[in-house]
Amino acid sequence: MPSNSELKIVINAVNNAQHELDAVKSSLGGVEKSTKQADKSFGMMATNVIKQAGLMSAAAVGVGVAIKKGFDFGKKGAVIDQTRESFERLGLSLDDMRKATNYTVDDMTLMSGALNLAAGASKQMQDKLLEANPMFLQ
């Protein structure tokens, strides 16, 4: 059987070891807390990055749509300009054509109609058709 002094040594060693184990446990608890905070921060950062990427994608799509609309608008403007220039070469009066329709037909329709009427006709036939154009409009 161990002596009292030997028992005291063992008890002191166990008590000291318990204090050391408690200190290690406390330190590990701090590490665990820090790890949880880091996980939460990383999760928030990842969420923010995903949101930012979504916003940037939406902005890129918006810019693309705006550019496409700009090109479409420019294309329509070019068609209108080309129609007007071609109509002016025919030598017809847009005002006379408006009056013939009692101002019920828009200019683009009047101009493109006159151009279609003259398209593919010989010069002589074209002149006769364009001369009769106001009568066709009435």
pLDDT tens digits along 77-110: 778 888 888 888 888 888 888 988 899 989 889 8
Domain ranges of the chain: 1-73, 91-138
Residue matched to tokens 């005002």: 95
Distance CA(94)–CA(138), nearest Å, equals 14
45 three-class SS: helix
Per-residue pLDDT band for 58 (boundaries 50, 70, 90) equals low
Give the global pTM. 0.45
